[in-house]
Amino acid sequence: MVDQVGIGSVKVSDEVIATIASVAATQIEGVAGMSEGIVDGLAKIITGGQATKGIKVSVGEEEAAIDISVIVEYGYSIAEIGRKIQECVKNAVESMTGLKVVEVNVYIQGVHLIDEKNDEKHEKGRKLK
Amino acid sequence: MAFINKFGLVLSILLLFTIGSIGIGIGLGLVDTNLILTYANDPHHKMVIIQIGVLMWIIGLLIVYTSCIFSHEEKGIAFQNANGEVKITRKAVEDFIVRVCSQEPNIRMVKPRVIIKKKYIKADLVVAITSDVPVAHATSELQVRIKESLEAGVGMVSVKSVSVRVEEVFYTGGRLRGVEYTS
């Protein structure tokens, strides 16, 4: 992003926008976490863990589009969480960077049960008891 | 069908390579065209060539048919609004079904497969249940539960059918394999 006010420019990197979006999304009730794809995993290996997982940012001069992949918690309305993520991410990025967010595309990649890790019988979400 | 599609694709590629190799061979003079003509003119060999041709047609038609089926299947449920798109992947919907089943005391294992179409979704489940309750009762309750949970939990989606196949029944002291019940 370039913000020209006559005395120079301000640039906000894609990673910063991704971090803002990630924090905004994970603060929503019902969001279990970000979903890490194969590309993110490879990027993390190559860059040494610097990649912001589950977020793809496309930034223009004054506008931005964000793709965000998340895992939601079981028991919440998935569509409702999706809409909340869109609103929160859009508001957070717009208020913090001044960029106009034209679209926030949310990809719900999985559903997570809150006490899943403590359930020893639950293997890979398939064998139940 | 996916297997046929992949098998057909591999076969088609091999066939193209073979035809290409024969063409190159003829062009370079490595393949004797008279030998091919002699082979093709033999009445017995003609039948073999016709059979291979028919087989190739059948495989080709199968590929076209399965491609048409899969082209209508969506990879996720998508909702468009003013802020962009919300897409719920098929895996998330299948995860959701597993979570719903985990709340059911009589369901011991579930393998869901979700088919997503533009206006509705269909769920096919393979389950293992306990012998505490009648199979028909457990499965019909499960069907209703899955349908209601999907429509409420996923939102803005119509569940056309929930098919359940019981693959195993667990009873006190062991388990029965191969019991099938489809509702």
CATH of the domain at A49: 3.30.70.1350
**Residue B182: is its pLDDT beyond 50?**
no
Structural domain of residue A52, as residue ranges?
17-118
Domain presence at residue A124? no
Mean pLDDT of B140-163: 87
Count of structural domains, chain B:
2
Greater model confidence, A26 or B72:
A26
Same domain, B99 and B142: yes
**Residue A85: is its pLDDT beyond 90?**
yes
Q: Environment class of residue A72 by beta-carbon count within 10 Å: exposed (0-12), middle (13-18) or buried (19+)? A: buried
- Do the Cβ atoms of A53 and A34 come closer than 8 Å? yes
Count of structural domains, chain A:
1
State CA B56 to chain mean position distance.
Answer: 22
**Residue A9: is its pLDDT beyond 50?**
yes
φ/ψ of residue A99, rounded to 5: -75, 150
Same domain, B86 and B151: yes
Structural domain of residue B9, as residue ranges?
2-71
Mean pLDDT of B16-34: 84
Mean pLDDT of B97-112: 89
Q: Which residues of B touch A31 (CB under 8 A)?
A: none
The token pair that represents B138 in the structure block: 């457990």
Which candidate from A77, A103, A127 shows the least CB-CB separation from B153? A77
Domain presence at residue B169? yes
Query: Which residues contact residue B25 at a Cβ distance below 8 angstroms, ignoring those fewer than 6 apart?
Result: B31
Which candidate from A80, A110, A113 shows the least CB-CB separation from B102? A113
> Is ipTM beyond 0.90?
no
pLDDT at A122: 42
Of the residues B56, B71, B86, the one at which a domain ends:
B71
For the whole prediction, is pTM greater than 0.80? Answer: no
Domain presence at residue A3? no
Helix or strand holding residue B115 (H, E): strand B107-116
Of the residues B71, B98, B129, the one at which a domain ends:
B71
Greater model confidence, B69 or B12:
B12
**Residue A54: is its pLDDT beyond 60?**
yes
Domain presence at residue A66? yes
Mean pLDDT of B73-88: 84
pLDDT at A87: 94
Counted across chains A and B, CB pairs separated by less than 8 A come out at: 96
pLDDT at A38: 56
pLDDT at B112: 92
Domain presence at residue B182? no
Mean pLDDT of A110-127: 56
Same domain, B169 and B80: yes
* Winning range, highest mean pLDDT, from A79-93, B30-44, B109-123, B166-180: A79-93
Tell me how far apart the alpha carbons of residues B64 and B73 are, in angstroms, rounded to a whole number: 15
Domain presence at residue A8? no
- pLDDT bin (cut points 50, 70, 90) of residue B45 is confident
With a pLDDT cut of 70, the percent of chain B lying above it is 85
Residue A117 is classified by DSSP as G
Shortest distance, CA A87 to any CA of chain B (angstroms): 7
Interface test with B, best of A38, A76, A78, A127 (most B CBs within 10 A): A78
